[in-house]
């Protein structure tokens, strides 16, 4: 896995799948590493060259001091593409990855073909929840919020049915660098990308989870309504829908990216 320098921050990148044909870039949720996409990798690798990466502050990437911003995250992505000599990719981002995708699609449209924005939002009218989470993590580490976060990521039914997957997701969260997690939460506390959405001209699919309390269907519908020609697919899942409904997510993703 190459480490790519993005403005002094080393970003951990994985390039897998086909060596030719279209390229798909995947972007993770807050508190997740590139391993969150494992349920999709076998199927995606048969169709695409796939780029995964750890956002700054996460996984094996660097944790430079904040503040972070959606623009900073977006420019990290462009640095990865430049380093790999890739002109244009499809994009699929979940949660925070979807927020970065909104910035990229509006500000670097020539680099992106089709866009998938999953379980995400464009705007938080009230920063209180993020400020409370920042306070809790500063005082008690990620263990202080882990159970609450996992309850939002996956439905109770899934957690009971798939205890090992749930444990793996919780371990991924707990392994996140605290400073990087807090800096990302600070960026989310001021999120407002509503004015960017009408600028997005790429074909766009929005995916929402029927049981997602973190970024509910209404948040997905707001995004869909503001991006010209965008469509909305709803999955029977909570926030991390690619893990809870891996087959349905993969089918929706591949179907959208390969349609003519």
The per-residue pLDDT for range 34-44, each reduced to its tens digit, is 999 999 999 99
Q: How confident is the model at residue 129 (pLDDT cuts 50, 70, 90)?
A: very high
The chain-wide mean pLDDT, for the chain, equals: 97
The per-residue pLDDT for range 131-162, each reduced to its tens digit, is 999 999 999 999 999 999 999 999 999 999 99
Confirm if 49 and 21 have CB atoms less than 8 A apart.
Answer: yes
222, burial (CB in 10 Å: exposed 0-12, middle 13-18, buried 19+)? middle
Query: What's domain 3-258's architecture?
Result: 3-Layer(aba) Sandwich (3.40)
CA dist 248 and 252 (Å) reads 6
The per-residue pLDDT for range 175-225, each reduced to its tens digit, is 999 999 999 999 999 999 999 999 999 999 999 999 999 999 999 999 999
Number of H helices, E strands in the chain: 11, 8
What is the pTM assigned to this prediction?
0.97
Mean per-residue pLDDT, 127-131: 96
User: What are the boundaries of each domain within the chain?
Assistant: 3-258
The CA-atom distances, in angstroms, between 16 and each of 38, 43, 48, 199, 206 are: 12, 12, 9, 31, 25
Task: Please list the alpha-helical segments (H only) found in the chain.
Answer: 38-45, 70-83, 96-107, 128-140, 146-153, 156-161, 163-174, 178-188, 217-226, 241-244, 246-258
Mean per-residue pLDDT, 3-8: 85
Q: How confident is the model at residue 5 (pLDDT cuts 50, 70, 90)?
A: confident
């Amino acid at each position: 896995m190459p480490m790519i320098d993005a403005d002094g921050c080393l970003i951990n990148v994985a390039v897998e799948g086909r060596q030719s044909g279209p390229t798909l870039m995947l972007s993770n949720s807050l508190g997740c590493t590139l391993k969150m996409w494992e349920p999709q990798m076998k199927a995606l690798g048969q169709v695409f060259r796939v780029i995964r990466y750890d956002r700054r502050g996460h996984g094996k990437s660097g944790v430079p001091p904040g503040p972070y911003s959606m623009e900073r995250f977006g420019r990290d992505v462009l640095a990865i593409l430049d380093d790999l000599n890739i002109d244009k990719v499809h994009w699929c981002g979940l949660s925070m990855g979807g927020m970065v995708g909104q910035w990229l699609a509006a500000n670097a449209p020539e680099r992106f073909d089709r866009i998938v924005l999953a379980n995400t939002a464009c705007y938080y009218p009230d920063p209180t929840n993020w400020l409370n989470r920042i306070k809790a993590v500063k005082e008690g580490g990620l263990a202080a919020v882990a159970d609450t976060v996992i309850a939002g990521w996956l439905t109770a039914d899934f957690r009971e049915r798939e205890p090992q997957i749930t444990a793996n997701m919780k371990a991924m969260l707990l392994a996140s660098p605290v400073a990087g997690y807090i800096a990302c939460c600070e960026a989310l506390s001021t999120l407002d990308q509503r004015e960017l959405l009408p600028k997005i001209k790429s074909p766009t699919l929005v995916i929402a989870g029927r049981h997602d309390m973190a970024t509910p269907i209404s948040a997905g519908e707001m995004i869909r309504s503001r991006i010209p020609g965008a469509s909305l697919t709803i999955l029977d899942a909570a926030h991390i829908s690619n893990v809870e409904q891996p087959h349905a997510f993969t089918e929706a993703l591949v179907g959208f990216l390969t349609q003519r």
